[in-house]
Amino acid sequence: QVQLQESGPGLVKPSGTLSLTCDVSGGSISSNDWWSWVRQSPGKGLEWIGETDQSGSTNYNPSLKSRLTISVDKSKNQLSLKLTSVTAADTAVYFCARFALTIFGDLYYYYMDVWGKGITVTVSS
């Protein structure tokens, strides 16, 4: 079964770039699924960051779009996230997740069925 594992620096300086990767095992990132990032600030709820598919198509949260790049590396079976010009407000646990799809008639239902364990990123000097 598909498993996801996030990795990257746990500490990023203000105004720097947050770079994370998500290794996909037990399946291929080149499948028809979409792949997403979600974050959770300390003591807060969940925030959808954005998503990509194996063709490189992306959808981003407008609140982060100007600073955000999400991509896939098929050769490494890996998802990545880059967030520039970070501030303390970007301190959070970052999760990668798979968007699975079920079709009921002519309706396409997406949902996040597999998640990584999450990685804590702190923005501080």
Question: How far is 85 from 3, CA to CA, in rounded Å?
Answer: 30
Write the single-letter amino acid at 47.
E
| Nearer residue to another protein within complex by CB, 10 or 45 | 45
Strand partners, 109: 102
Go through 19-53 and write b for each residue having 16 or more CB atoms within 10 A of its CB, e for each that does not.
bbbbbbeeeebeeebbbbbbbeeeeeeeebbbbbb
Alpha carbon separation from 115 to 2, 6, 44, 100 (Å, rounded) = 9, 10, 18, 11
The contact mask relative to another protein for 56-75 (x = CB under 8 A, - = no) is ---xxxxx------------
Q: Does 79 bind another protein (CB under 8 A)?
A: no
Q: Does 113 bind another protein (CB under 8 A)?
A: yes
**Residues 19-58, interacting with another protein (CB under 8 A):** 38, 45-48
Q: Does 104 bind another protein (CB under 8 A)?
A: yes
Span from 12-20, 73-81, 82-90, 116-124 in contact with another protein (CB under 8 A): 116-124
Q: Which residues of this chain interact with another protein, rule CB under 8 A?
A: 38, 45-48, 59-63, 95, 97, 102, 104, 107, 109-113, 115-118
